Amino acid sequence: MSTYIAPMNDIRFALHDVLQVESLFARLGFEDATRDTVDAVLDECARLCETVLAPLNRVGDVQGVRFDKTTGAVTTPDGFKAAYDQFVEGGWTGMSAPTEFGGMNMPHAIGICLEEMIDAANLAWSNFPLLSHGAVNALHHHGEAWQKEVFLKPLIAGTWTGTMCLTEPHCGTDLGMLKTRAEPVGTDVYAITGTKIFITAGEHDLTPNIVHLVLARLPDAPEGSRGISLFVVPKLRVARDGTVGGRNAVRCGAVEHKMGIHGSATCVMNFDGAEGYLVGQPHKGLMAMFTMMNTARLGVGVQGLGLATRAYENALRYARERLQSRALSGPKLPAKPADPILVQPDVRRMLLTCKALTEGGRLLAYHAGSLVDGAAHGADAAARKDADDLLGFLTPIVKGCLTEWGNECTSHALQCYGGHGYIAEHGMEQLARDARITTLYEGTTGIQALDLMGRKVLQLQGAGLRVFLGMIETFCAEHEGTPTLAEFTGPLRAHAAQWQQITGSIAERAAADPEEIGAAAYDYMFFSGYVALAYWWARSVAVADASSHPETFKAGKRETARFYFARILPRTAMHAAAITSGPATLLSVPDEAFDS
Amino acid sequence: MSTYIAPMNDIRFALHDVLQVESLFARLGFEDATRDTVDAVLDECARLCETVLAPLNRVGDVQGVRFDKTTGAVTTPDGFKAAYDQFVEGGWTGMSAPTEFGGMNMPHAIGICLEEMIDAANLAWSNFPLLSHGAVNALHHHGEAWQKEVFLKPLIAGTWTGTMCLTEPHCGTDLGMLKTRAEPVGTDVYAITGTKIFITAGEHDLTPNIVHLVLARLPDAPEGSRGISLFVVPKLRVARDGTVGGRNAVRCGAVEHKMGIHGSATCVMNFDGAEGYLVGQPHKGLMAMFTMMNTARLGVGVQGLGLATRAYENALRYARERLQSRALSGPKLPAKPADPILVQPDVRRMLLTCKALTEGGRLLAYHAGSLVDGAAHGADAAARKDADDLLGFLTPIVKGCLTEWGNECTSHALQCYGGHGYIAEHGMEQLARDARITTLYEGTTGIQALDLMGRKVLQLQGAGLRVFLGMIETFCAEHEGTPTLAEFTGPLRAHAAQWQQITGSIAERAAADPEEIGAAAYDYMFFSGYVALAYWWARSVAVADASSHPETFKAGKRETARFYFARILPRTAMHAAAITSGPATLLSVPDEAFDS
C-alpha cells in the first residue's frame, strides 16, 4: 500500500526560505500567522493527514461510495465520517475563512499547503470539504447579509458542506446552454427545476445538510451566458431566520462509476421545484461562479501536486529497496545479490522528473496562494492590482500544468515499480487513476489554456506576464555578480526573452486570425509553465546556497536544478515550434479525412 | 460504451500501397498470401473483432476473472469461453503457425494486423491466445521432435493454451536471480518447484490443458543468468506418446487485482514438484526464452497501437457529435445551438496527435512484422541478415514507443470527452487503464531502451540503424526531383543525419563511461522512434499522392504529415538535448538528497 509522509522539509523551505511568508503575512495584516503558528498548524495537519486520512485512501478506492436507489441516500466509505468529524472538531474547515463567521483567518497561502497534504493523503475524501470553500466564497462575496448569517457559519464550522451545481448533461464547458429553470414562487423564493451532473459531494452522510450553489435561468433571462443566475438551494429547507425545516425537492438520482476517486460522491442531482434563494444580481450568476472557480482551480492544481508528491516518495522508497541488476559501471553493493534500482540512470530520470516538477511546482502553487492574500490585503491599490494580475495569469498555469504534471509524475512513479506498479495492493495505480480527474474537472487543460491565452494574455494585454517577467529580471539582476548562479540565470534570461517575444508574436497574429489563440494556447501554457519553473529552480538554488541548510540539501537543490535545466526545460523548444507552426497545421486536415 | 470498427482503409493502405506485401510475400515464398486472400482474412477477422470480441470488452472489465481459493480454479468473464471457441473453430489460433503442425502458414506481417484488431477489440481477452504463440515458437525452435509432435498441434489448434513463466516475486528484469528449481526424477523428467508471478493466462477455463514454459535451475547450474534452463510443464500430465494424464503439481495460488485488463488472468503459479521436460540445452534457457520474447515484444507494441486506434476513433466520433461552444473565428453550424468540438484547434491537436502516431505507428509495426518474415525466408543470407538486423533494431522501438504512444493517445482521447471521459460507461477510461500495462510487461520501457542502446546499437555496432538510414536515403534520393515532397524530405534528411551523429557520439562517450548507455537510452529510443515515423509519414504522402485514392484521403495523409513534422517531430529536440547533457545530470544528485 502506498503511504504518505508530508514533505515538511521542502514545504518549510518553500514557505519560509523562498517565499519568506512570515514577513509577507505581517505586511498583509495577518498578525497571527507567525512562523511558529504556521509551523504548528502545518505539523498538526501533517499528523492528521498521515495517520487518519492516508490510511483511508485505499479503503475509499476499494469500497467506493454506495448509492441507495430507493432513498437517494449516499453512504461514504468506512471511516470517512469519523475522519470528517475529527477534521471538523480540529477546526480545519474554517482555517482560512473570515473570523466574523467562525473562521481562523489564516492566509490563503497556508490554506494551499494544507490542501496539498490533505489531497495527497486522500483525494477522494478531500473533495467533501473542498467544495464548501467555493460555496463560502460565493456567499461571502455575493450573498445578502441574512444569507451569510444563515449559511456561512455552518459551512465554515463544517457542520454543513457545500456544492457547486454547474454542469448539465448537454453542457459543461459551454454553460451558456444550460436549461435549469428558476421560477419565482414568493418573495425572493424560487422553485428550481432541472438536472445537474458531476456534482461533487452532491449527496453524502457526513453532515445533515448540504448547501447547493446552483446556476439556473430566471423566466425573463436573456439567452446564453448572460441569462444565468446563481441560487442557494439547501438539501434541508432553511428559513431566513435560520430555522432548518424538512427535505427540499432536490435528490440524488445516481452516482457515477469513475476511473478513480471512488470514495468521492460524484452525483446526478435532480431539482424538482426545489426552494432556493437568489444570490447576487439576476443574470449575473456566471460571473459570481467564476469568482469562486478561480480559487477552486488553484485548488485542483494543488491536487496534482499532492498526488505527484505522494507517488514520488513511494517510488523513491521502492527504488532504494528493490534489488535488481547491477549498475552499468559495476556493482554498487557487491555484498548484496543486486544493486537497488536507484542506481539505474533511467530510474533516476523518472524520479528526478518527479522531484523537479513537484518541488518547483510547489513554489509555483504556494506563490500563487500568497497572491490571493496579496490581491485582497496588499498595502495599496497598485500592489493589489499587480498581485491580482499575476494571480489571474498564474491560475490557469497552476491548474493546467500541475495537473498534467501530476499525471506525468504518478505515471513515472508507477513505472518505477515495474509490473508491481500495475497491481492494486501497491497503491501506485490508484494514484494514477485518481490524478486523471484533475485535468478534467474545474475546466479541462484546454480550457485553462484558452483562459490564459485569450483572457489573461490577450484581453488583459499581458499585465500578469509583465509582473512575472519583472520578477525574473529582478532576480537575474540581483545575482549578476554570482558566478555560481550564471549557469541558471543565463538560460533563464534567454527563456524570459523568448517568452516575451512569443507572446508578442501570438498577439500580433491573433489580431488577424482568431484561430491563432486556440492553436497556440496549449503550447503557450506549457512554455509558460516551464519557464516559470526555471525561475523557481534558479531561485531555489540561490536561496539554498545562502541558507544554513545542510550541504546535502544544497547539493540536492543545485543538482536537481541542473537536471531541470538540462533535461526538462528543453521541452520549451518543442512547444515553441508548435506555436510557430500556427493554426494551419491543425485546421488544414479536412474534417472528413480524420478517419483512419 | 466505446466501440471498435477496424480501420480497414488504413490497414490496407499500409499493407498494399506502402509495404506492397503481395509482391513481398511472393518473393518470400508465401504463395497463398495473395492480395485477395489477405483481404478476405482481414475482413473476416475484423468481423469477429467488431461483433464478438469488442462487445465483451466492458463485460471483462466489470466482471474480471474470478478465482476459487479452494480449488485454484479461474473462471473467465461471461462470454469469453464462447468467443474463444469461435476463435478456435475459425482456425485463428494457427494463422501464422507452420502447416506441418496444423497451422495456416500466413506471413507474420499479416499476423501483426490480426493482433492489432484483436487487441483493440478486447485486450484482456487477447492475452489468452497471445501467449500460446510464445510457447509455440519456443517449442518449434528448441523442442525435441516428440515435444513438437505432442505439444505443438493442440497449441496451434488452440485446444490448449501456453504460458511463459519467468518472473518470480524477487526478480523480473534480473532473471539471473531466479530460484525455481528443477530436480531430475527419471529419464528426461524433472520435478519443478518454485513460485512464479505475473503469469498471464496461467489458469483459466477456456481449454482443458495449459502448457507452461518455465525457467528454472538444474542442480548443477552455474549462478546467474548462465544457469537457467527451460522446461515444458503441462497442467495435465502429458506422456511422450501424447497420452494426457491427471493433474500435475502446478496450481494457481492467486490472481492479481490490477489497474486494468481485469478480464485477463494474471496468476501466481505454484510449482510443487511438477513434472516437466527440458526444452533445448541445459543452462541455455534464457536464450531460448529471448527468442520468443522478441516476437512477444512486437506483439505488445501492437497492443499499444490497437488501443490507441480504438480510443482515437471513439474520440473522433464524440468530437463530431458533441456540440459545445463556438469556433473562435465564428459559428460553423449557426443553425445548431453550438459547434461540434471538432472545430476547436486544441481538440484537433489531440486527435491529430492520435492520428499521426497511430497511422505512422501502424507502418512501423507492420514493417517490423514483415521483417520477421524476411529474416526467416529472405532470398539469400545477406538479405536475411539485413532483415534480422533491422528487426532487432526496430523491436525495442516498436515495443517502447508504441506502448508509450498508446498511453499518450488513450489519454488524449479520454481528454476529448472532458469529464465524461472519466466515467466508466463511456469506456474511454478502460482503454487508458488497459493501455497502462503495455509499458510494463515483456520488459518495461526502460528495458527496451537499454536493449536498443546497449545491445542493438553498441554491441551490434548499429547494423540495424544503417539499414534504416539506407532506406531513408533511398527514399529521399528517389524523390529528389519531386517538389511537393521537399517539405518532408529536407527535414527527414536532416534528422537522419542528426540520428547518425548522435549515435556516434553516444558510442564514443560510452567507451569511456558505461553509464552513458543508461543515461542516453530512453531519449535515444524516442529520438529514433520519431525519426522513423517521419520517414513513414513522408513515404505515406509520396505513396498516397501516386495512388488512385480519393483526394480527401490524399489530403488527409499530406496534412497529417505536415502536422507531424510541425508539431510532433520537434520532440526530437528535447530528446537530443537530454542525450547531450549526459550521465552527470542524472548521477550527480546525491542519493540521500532525493527526499523532498
Treating both helix axes as pointing N-terminal to C-terminal, what angle do B381-416 and B515-545 enclose, rounded to 10 degrees? 90
The residues near B300 (Cβ < 8 Å, ≥ 6 apart) are B399, B403, B438, B441, B442
Euclidean distance between CA atoms A418 and A212, whole angstroms:
44
Count the neighbouring beta carbons within 10 Å of the beta carbon of residue A148: 19
Is residue B303 within 8 angstroms of chain A, CB to CB?
no
Euclidean distance between CA atoms B156 and B530, whole angstroms:
36
- Alpha helices by DSSP H, listed for A179-334, are 285-321
Q: Are A463 and A393 in contact (CB under 8 A)?
A: yes
Is residue B321 within 8 angstroms of chain A, CB to CB?
no
Q: Are A39 and A33 in contact (CB under 8 A)?
A: no
Helix (H) or strand (E) holding B195: strand B189-200
Instruction: Please pick, among B183, B442, B487, B516, the residue that the annotation labels catalytic.
Output: B442
Give B57→chain A minimum CA distance, Å: 16
Q: Are B421 and A407 in contact (CB under 8 A)?
A: no
b or e along B21-47 (b: 16 or more beta carbons within 10 Å of the residue's beta carbon)? Answer: bbebbeebebeebeeebbeebbeebbe
Partners of residue A217 on adjacent β-strands:
A181
The pLDDT score that the predictor gives to residue B269 is 98
Partners of residue A305 on adjacent β-strands:
none
Task: Read off the amino acid at residue B439.
Answer: T
Q: Using a CB-CB distance cutoff of 8 angstroms, which residues of chain B are in contact with residue A414?
A: 436
Determine which of A433, A589, A592 to mutate to test the interface with B (most B C-beta atoms within 10 Å). A589
Subunit contact B514:A415, Cβ cutoff 8 A = no
pLDDT exceeds cutoff 90 at B294: no
Partners of residue B193 on adjacent β-strands:
B181, B272
- Segment B518-547, tens digit of pLDDT: 999 999 999 999 999 999 999 999 999 999
What is the Cβ-side half-sphere exposure of residue B426, based on CA atoms within 13 angstroms? Answer: 23
The complex scores an ipTM of 0.98
* 3-class secondary structure, A348: helix
Determine which of A586, A587, A588, A592 to mutate to test the interface with B (most B C-beta atoms within 10 Å). A586
- What's the burial of A491, exposed, middle or buried (CB within 10 Å: 0-12/13-18/19+)? middle
* 3-class secondary structure, A237: strand
Q: Are A323 and A347 in contact (CB under 8 A)?
A: no
Residue of B nearest to A330 (CA): B514
b or e along A518-544 (b: 16 or more beta carbons within 10 Å of the residue's beta carbon)? Answer: bbbbbbbbbbbbbbbbbbbbbbbbbbb
Partners of residue A73 on adjacent β-strands:
A68
Give B232→chain A minimum CA distance, Å: 24
Euclidean distance between CA atoms B166 and B290, whole angstroms:
11
The pLDDT score that the predictor gives to residue A509 is 97
Going by C-alpha positions, the residue among B585, B582, B589 that lies closest to residue A555 is B589
Is residue A494 within 8 angstroms of chain B, CB to CB?
no
Q: Tell me whether strands A209-216 and A160-165 are parallel, antiparallel or unpaired.
A: parallel
Q: CA of B571: how far to CAs of B150, B493, B517, B566, in Å?
A: 51, 16, 20, 10
pLDDT band at B293 (very low <50, low <70, confident <90, very high): confident
DSSP string, A498-547: HHHHHHHHHHHHHHH-THHHHHHHHHHHHHHHHHHHHHHHHHHHHHHHTS
Grid cell at residue A219: 423566466
b or e along B226-248 (b: 16 or more beta carbons within 10 Å of the residue's beta carbon)? Answer: ebbbbbbbbbebbeeeeeeeeeb
Give A226→chain B minimum CA distance, Å: 14
Q: Are A213 and A137 in contact (CB under 8 A)?
A: no
The pLDDT score that the predictor gives to residue A113 is 98
Euclidean distance between CA atoms A355 and B236, whole angstroms:
51
pLDDT band at B24 (very low <50, low <70, confident <90, very high): very high
Grid cell at residue B537: 509519414
| Mean confidence (pLDDT) of chain B | 97
Is residue A174 within 8 angstroms of chain B, CB to CB?
yes
Q: CA of A528: how far to CAs of A221, A496, A503, A522, in Å?
A: 39, 9, 10, 10
Q: Using a CB-CB distance cutoff of 8 angstroms, which residues of chain B are in contact with residue A425?
A: 257
Q: Are B206 and B81 in contact (CB under 8 A)?
A: yes
The pLDDT score that the predictor gives to residue A1 is 83
The residues near A358 (Cβ < 8 Å, ≥ 6 apart) are A305, A308, A309, A312, A405, A409, B596
Grid cell at residue B247: 493433474
- How many contiguous H segments (helices) and E segments (strands) does chain B have? 20, 11
Question: Across the interface, which of B352, B418, B571 has its CB nearest the CB of A586?
Answer: B352
The pLDDT score that the predictor gives to residue A188 is 86
Q: Are B332 and B343 in contact (CB under 8 A)?
A: yes
Grid cell at residue A531: 519557464
* 3-class secondary structure, A241: coil
Going by C-alpha positions, the residue among B596, B223, B271 that lies closest to residue A338 is B223
A183 an active-site residue?
A: no
DSSP string, A17-69: IIS-HHHHHHHHT-TT--HHHHHHHHHHHHHHIIIIITTHHHHHHHH--EEET
Going by C-alpha positions, the residue among B55, B92, B59 that lies closest to residue B78 is B59
The pLDDT score that the predictor gives to residue B292 is 78
Q: Using a CB-CB distance cutoff of 8 angstroms, which residues of chain A are in contact with residue B257?
A: 423-425
Subunit contact B422:A440, Cβ cutoff 8 A = yes
The pLDDT score that the predictor gives to residue B47 is 98
Helix H, strand E, coil C: the string for B391-442 is HHHHHHHHHHHHHHHHHHHHHHHHHHCHHHHHEHHHCHHHHHHHHHHHHCCC
User: Could you give the percent of chain B with pLDDT greater than 70?
Assistant: 100
The pLDDT score that the predictor gives to residue B82 is 98
Q: Using a CB-CB distance cutoff of 8 angstroms, which residues of chain A are in contact with residue B338?
A: 174, 177
Subunit contact A556:B415, Cβ cutoff 8 A = no
The pLDDT score that the predictor gives to residue A153 is 97
Euclidean distance between CA atoms B178 and B550, whole angstroms:
57
- Segment A121-165, tens digit of pLDDT: 999 999 999 989 889 999 999 999 999 999 999 999 999 999 999
Residue with cell string 480545519? A92
Q: Are A275 and A250 in contact (CB under 8 A)?
A: no
User: Could you give the percent of chain B with pLDDT greater than 90?
Assistant: 95
Helix (H) or strand (E) holding A404: helix A381-416
Q: Are B315 and B413 in contact (CB under 8 A)?
A: yes
Q: Tell me whether strands B181-186 and B266-279 are parallel, antiparallel or unpaired.
A: unpaired
Euclidean distance between CA atoms A171 and A39, whole angstroms:
43
pLDDT band at B287 (very low <50, low <70, confident <90, very high): confident
Instruction: Please pick, among A223, A442, A487, A551, the residue that the annotation labels catalytic.
Output: A442
- Alpha helices by DSSP H, listed for B1-76, are 8-12, 21-28, 35-48, 57-63
Q: Are A186 and A156 in contact (CB under 8 A)?
A: no
The pLDDT score that the predictor gives to residue B314 is 98
The pLDDT score that the predictor gives to residue B188 is 86
Helix (H) or strand (E) holding B360: helix B345-377
Q: Are A335 and A326 in contact (CB under 8 A)?
A: no
- pLDDT per residue as tens, chain A (596 positions): 899 999 999 999 999 999 999 999 999 999 999 999 999 999 999 999 999 999 999 999 999 999 999 999 999 999 999 999 999 999 999 999 999 999 999 999 999 999 999 999 999 999 999 989 889 999 999 999 999 999 999 999 999 999 999 999 999 889 999 999 999 998 889 999 999 999 999 999 999 999 999 999 999 999 999 999 999 999 999 999 999 999 999 999 999 999 999 999 999 999 999 999 999 999 999 988 887 788 899 999 999 999 999 999 999 999 999 999 999 999 999 999 999 999 999 999 999 999 999 999 999 999 999 999 999 999 999 999 999 999 999 999 999 999 999 999 999 999 999 999 999 999 999 999 999 999 999 999 999 999 999 999 999 999 999 999 999 999 999 999 999 999 999 999 999 999 999 999 999 999 999 999 999 999 999 999 999 999 999 999 999 999 999 999 999 999 999 999 999 999 999 999 999 999 999 999 999 999 99
Subunit contact A596:B167, Cβ cutoff 8 A = no
The residues near B522 (Cβ < 8 Å, ≥ 6 apart) are A346, A349, B445, B446, B449
